Amino acid sequence: MESYQLLPELILVYPDCRAHFISEADRWIDDKGDISAHSFFSVLTSFVEEKFLLGDYEHCEKLFAFVEAAIHSENAGVSNAACTCFIENLINIAGHNNEFELSHFWTLLGPSALYFAESWLAEG
């Protein structure tokens, strides 16, 4: 999966995210129109946090399957971004936010995402 494929692929599994990503476009599309995978996954983190705090888990299995596929991308930047700018960010938010907890997403993590998350917590 390449950076330019992230949003179209995500919209296929989570159609409601489109409006959020459009409103946040300045955060993940640079001045030349290129997509930053790291910024993209950071914006995805805020979207997921908002949805989960509202108790909205619609499409969540497909969403985390999308993240798992991104981790397995041949594009190292996309893979790294899925881990560090999505999973790591969710863990950090859960550690600092009294409302958002690991339990909001932990059981949704795929095998590679879970391995990364457990390793990140063990190091921290």
Q: What does the mean pLDDT of the chain come to?
A: 91
Q: Which residues pair with 29 in a beta bridge?
A: 35
Bigger pLDDT: 19 vs 112: 112
Q: What is the mean pLDDT of residues 75-84?
A: 97
pLDDT (0 to 100) of residue 34 = 78
What pLDDT, on a 0 to 100 scale, did the predictor assign at position 104?
Answer: 93
Q: What is the pLDDT of residues 26-40, one digit of tens each?
A: 877 778 887 789 999
Classify residue 59 as left (phi > 0), alpha (psi -120 to 50) or beta: left
61 or 124: which carries more pLDDT confidence? 61
Handedness of CA 30, 63, 86, 110 (dihedral sign): negative
